[in-house]
Amino acid sequence: MAFKSNQWGALLFAAALVSGLGCSSCSSSRENADNGQKLPTRMDDPNGAAGGNGVGGGSPADDISGNGGANPATGSGGSNPAADAADADGATAANPPKGSSVDPCVAVDPGANKDLIRWPYIQNVTQNALSIAFGSKAPLEYQGLTPPKGTIHVGHAPADTTDIPASVEYLPAGFTNGLWFQQGRVTGLKAGTSYCYAVSIDGKVAAGGFRIKTAPADDAQPVHVVVIGDWGSGQIEEAKIRDLIAVAHREKPFDLFLTTGDNIYGSGTYGEIQTRGFEYYKELWTTIPLYVTHGNHDYGTDQAQPSLRNYILPENAERPEHKERYYYLEWGPLFWLGLDSEDPLDQNFLQHLSPKADRDQQQDRWARRVLEKVKDKFVIAAWHKPAHSTAERGGHPPAAAVFSPVMEKFRVPLVLQGHNHLYERSHPLIGLNITTTKTGGVTYIVTGGGGKSLYDFGPEKEIIPVRVKAYHYMDGLITKCTASFKVIDIDARQIDAFEINRCQ
């Protein structure tokens, strides 16, 4: 259940009586809200891949984090090479043979293939592995049909290219057709290395010539990120922000594409994810790894199951029902902590108010265990509903009550949030007290102007000196000590710029 702001007063009284709550509402019914039919959990892979729920058709047997073996205790740039090299996730083999008839560096326009309705995209990239997914057109009545055979090709030339058979499942994609959703995980790669990739459908190359780089081998180079929130509206403003991001990417390529939730409006259905998300950003996501956090609109259908099935995120949450709802990733000097301000936080908050509750498996305790092991990284946390905001509907008390103490304890210098469709930047805060980053203050950003209609502000607050009602995106450069951001509005004007230095 997701609670509205005006329900929290009554809930504060009732929740004191609650103990031992689970997250039963996070379970999956796999109901398709687009056309009402039950979905298969996974179709058998025509290439022999095992079925399951995870990247490439199966759950990682030897990589319990789902992040390529990444261990925040190491303080290194992203993953465990041994774990990724041995990754038998779905359709991949531990050491797949090299050599292909396909040259993945040869450009093949995906737009020329009318059956390729979802261009290939990159997710869950570590130092030694990455996931690639794509989709071809499927009829609404798919039962009994033989799905197409998909293959992913990664390398530098035919002789050193690895061919990975893709797993396949049916997903809805709109009112007129479905989607053969194909994905595979490529392992055994080298850290900080650029690779070409292509994808084939039934032996014919459908898209190719794209380049992607694995996570850095060390923390020496800055990380260039783009951040948007509340964006998948299908409105002209979404397209304009996308076009500005594309221009910035051509001038200085982004390493990561990050979001603060409400990725898809109105209810996060399968069809909306395709038409308001992937259709808009298909070109950029062929080469920029995408990492989303989930918002209330993403939870609008079947407890966010369409989002969980379309995005491939690190599976390092401890509770099985929470995997991919919140997660962490490492990329050079950046440690990104993506939290969930929806059902997992609602349950977390109820237990937070009950002194008898067993909270060990809740999201905030998981975040504490993760952050305890982070060494010498710039940590950015992100979630959807803001702890603090001067928008008319204000902030979200559970986020301030549950997440903010964790941020303060581990001196997380920067938090990115969405939900309110505008831009805000706070002073560094401990509680509601203005302080400095040096003394452990947390700077809170609300970045919710990615494309959906804008909101109005309420009264000003001293703790939030910068606020602008504007469509916008954030362009950031992260080192071990600093996070430098500029905020660009829909008319390509800079509406804010700041640098946070955690080392001074």
Q: What is the pLDDT of residues 81-105, one digit of tens each?
A: 334 433 433 344 445 678 999 999 9
* CB-neighbour burial class of residue 394 (10 A; exposed 0-12, middle 13-18, buried 19+): middle
Q: What is the pLDDT of residues 137-153, one digit of tens each?
A: 999 999 899 999 999 99
Is a pLDDT exceeding 50 seen at residue 14?
Answer: no
Q: In whole angstroms, give the CA distance from residue 246 to residue 218.
A: 27
Is a pLDDT exceeding 70 seen at residue 48?
Answer: no
Beta strands 429-430 and 378-382 are unpaired
Is a pLDDT exceeding 60 seen at residue 49?
Answer: no
At residue 49, what is the residue type? A
How many helical (H) and strand (E) elements, i.e. helices and strands, does the chain have? 10, 23
SS3 201: strand
The tokens describing 374, both together, are 């982070």
Q: Backbone phi, then psi, for 194, in 5-degree steps?
A: -90, 135
Q: In whole angstroms, give the CA distance from residue 450 to residue 471.
A: 6
- Length of the chain, in residues: 504
Q: In whole angstroms, give the CA distance from residue 230 to residue 422.
A: 9
Res. 358 pLDDT band, cuts 50 70 90: low
Residue 6 has what pLDDT?
A: 41
| Alpha-helical regions (H) of 7-123 | 8-15, 81-85
What is the residue extent of each domain of the chain?
Answer: 55-213, 223-501
Mean pLDDT, rounded, of the chain: 85
The strand ranges marked E within 250-306 are 256-259, 290-291
Residue whose structure tokens are 């001196």: 411
Q: In whole angstroms, give the CA distance from residue 55 to residue 64.
A: 13
Cα dihedral: 172, 174, 175, 176 (round 10)? -90
DSSP tag of 283: T
Q: Domain 55-213, what fold? A: Immunoglobulin-like (2.60.40)
Residue 355 has what pLDDT?
A: 63
Predicted TM-score (pTM) of this structure: 0.84
b/e map 325-356, b = 16+ CB within 10 Å: bbbbbbbbbbbbbbbbbbbbbbbbbbbbbbee
Sign of CA dihedral 254, 194, 215, 312: positive
Give the orientation angle of helix 8-15 with respect to helix 343-352, to 10 degrees. 50
Residue 23 has what pLDDT?
A: 37
Residue 164 has what pLDDT?
A: 97
Is a pLDDT exceeding 90 seen at residue 55?
Answer: no
Q: Domain 223-501, what architecture?
A: 4-Layer Sandwich (3.60)
Which of these ranges, 91-100, 106-115, 319-328, has the smallest mean pLDDT? 91-100
How many C-beta neighbours within 10 Å does residue 272 have? 25
SS3 175: coil
DSSP tag of 482: E
Which of these ranges, 76-85, 173-182, 274-283, 365-374, has the smallest mean pLDDT? 76-85
